[in-house]
Amino acid sequence: MNRPCTALRHEEAADFAAVRALIHATFGRAEEADLVDALRSADALTISAVAEDADRVVAHIGFSPITIGGQHHALALAPVPVAPDFQRQGIGSVLIRWSLDECRRLGHGVVSVLGEPSYYSRFGFLPAVAFGIECPFPVPSEAYMVLELLPGSATEFRGGVSYRAEFEKF
């Protein structure tokens, strides 16, 4: 299922326009692209990575800082666009796994995501409510999930999640 020619790497300045175009095309609106641009401008994209196929950026993933319970530092995974003509070929999965490994390698312990439980559970995400972690957005509780990058890294994490101000405009 995975496309063997897809390369995974951190975003570079030369990718910015292609990443914006990819996000805009995938979501069919500007909001997610504006969010990523605003986070990048604020130097708040902790990880910004791409999947590249034949010199074309076909997927992107962004992580930005959050706090949990007002004191615990973690990362939020958002958004993850895969170009429509490249979806369901395993690219989202390999990019997410690669990026989570990068988060772990860089010393991060906890990642949250707002998304489809049937998709994100395959990467080990569990409902945030199981950790006593509260989503700040009005969404079904099962859609807000947390991943411990190291066993037990969310044990002390409790309370509400605070996102960067850039998410308020989203």
Ligand X SMILES: CC(C)(COP(=O)(O)OP(=O)(O)OC[C@H]1O[C@@H](n2cnc3c(N)ncnc32)[C@H](O)[C@@H]1OP(=O)(O)O)[C@@H](O)C(=O)NCCC(=O)NCCS
Nearest approach in angstroms of CB 107 to ligand X is 24
CA 19/CA 127 separation, integer angstroms: 29
Among residues 123, 119, 131, which one has the least CA distance to residue 158? 131
DSSP string computed for 38-78: HHHHTT--SEEEEEEETTEEEEEEEEEEEEETTTEEEEEE-
Q: Which is nearer to ligand X, 92 or 109 (CB)?
A: 92
Instruction: Count Cβ atoms within 10 A of the Cβ of residue 116 and give its class: 0-12 exposed, 13-18 middle, 19 or more buried.
Output: exposed
**What is the three-class DSSP state of 151?**
coil
Report the residue number, 79 or 109, with the smaller CB distance to ligand X: 79
Among 6, 26, 48, 112, binds ligand X (CB under 6 A): 26
Closest residue to bound ligand X by CB: 92
Number of chain residues interacting with ligand X (CB under 6 A) = 17
Phi, psi (5° rounding) for residue 58?
-110, -5
Between 66 and 105, how does the x/- string for binding to ligand X read (CB under 6 A)? Answer: ------------xxxxx----xxxxxxx------------
* Number of residues that this document lists for the chain: 170
- If one asks whether residue 142 binds ligand X (CB under 6 A), the answer comes out as no
Candidate list 12, 116, 142, 156; residue touching ligand X; CB under 6 A: 116
Min dist CB 158 to ligand X, Å, is: 26
Between 3 and 158, whose beta carbon lies closer to ligand X? Answer: 3
Q: Which residues bind ligand X (CB under 6 A)?
A: 26, 78-82, 87-93, 115-116, 118-119
